[in-house]
Amino acid sequence: MGATAYLFDTIFLSHKPGLGHPERPERLSAINGKITGSRFYRELLLVDPAKPDMRYIESNHSSAYIGDVKRKIEDGGRFLDMDTGVSENSFEAALLAVGGSLKLCDAVMSGKAVNGFCAVRPPGHHAEYDYSSGFCIFNNIAIAARYLNDAYGLKRIAIVDWDVHHGNGTQHSFEGDDFVYYISLHQVPLFPGTGYAKEKGYGRGLGYTLNIPMEPGMTDSDYLDAFNGTIIPALDNYRPEIMLISAGFDAHHADPLASMMLTADAFRIFTEMLVGVANRHCGGKVIAFLEGGYNLDALSESALKMMEVFVSASRGGNNG
């Protein structure tokens, strides 16, 4: 079928939110250590980061906000907001995270890869049109969705966000549009305080937002009930042209920032189910973007299980 693409670069480690900050470079080092040490690493299509055409970032964020972020970092600022710490290389890392993600999209759309993982930081799904939020600067997955719509004409893009925190920035990017179907299951109550079931979009986007609030303490079984009973039927009805995943791993029971009880194996099963949808409707095209996950062992093990499914699918394995 094709390869599994993998985006990683040490530039993403140079974004340093500050001593003791949970969104630390070691998160990505732990993931990359697992993946480079795997048996499948030599099979991966490695994608290098690149600076993007700024119009793609401006498709999802105001030029004033982009300029403000750049100025604050150049002036030595250490926080963009109360949660989002930065360092001198954070703007470059954020740009290259976007640009590399778009290159990985190209790899999948060209057929060089069937699926892939954007192992980037800073993460993105909390970033809004004109302000940073929740450790996020630019919304990598939202910009990628707009790029796929603009550059490739895709009109049915599914985003499944399994991060334990609701992706407020991604929802707000598309809640008035119908070319993205945004599905999120997340802990409530929890930051950012959005993502209630009544939030379904508006205008032509009405019905293209699906929020599944989950109570603290939910297990693998509870999540799988949501996938089997709601998410997979909704996706099969939608028939996506590509599947994008906001892959946060902070619903793991060991994560310090939330109160869910998932095991690492849950993320393998979620991935198998979404790959199954992609196999049925869009030639297996799936791209995951790293979001949260703050226990290094739980994060890296969960990401590895997701990648094992991707590699199996790229070899022609039967998922779903």
Q: What is the per-residue DSSP string for 209-274?
A: EEEEEE-TT--HHHHHHHIIIIIHHHHHHH--SEEEEEE--TTBTT-TT----B-HHHHHHHHHHH
Is position 126 annotated as part of the catalytic site? Answer: yes
Characterise 69 by phi-psi region: left (phi > 0), alpha (psi -120 to 50), beta (else): alpha
Give the count of alpha carbons within 13 A of 171, CB side only.
27
Peptide linkage before 256 cis (omega within 30 of 0): no
> Quick one: DSSP state of residue 88?
T
Q: Where are the beta strands (DSSP E) in the chain?
A: 3-7, 45-47, 113-118, 157-161, 180-187, 209-214, 242-247, 286-290
Q: Residue 27 and residue 185: Cα distance in Å, rounded?
A: 22
* Edge-to-edge order in the sheet of strand 3-7: 45-47, 3-7, 113-118, 286-290, 242-247, 157-161, 180-187, 209-214
Q: Residue 166 and residue 171: Cα distance in Å, rounded?
A: 9
Residues 15, 61, 125, 126: which is the catalytic one?
126
Enzyme catalytic residues: 126
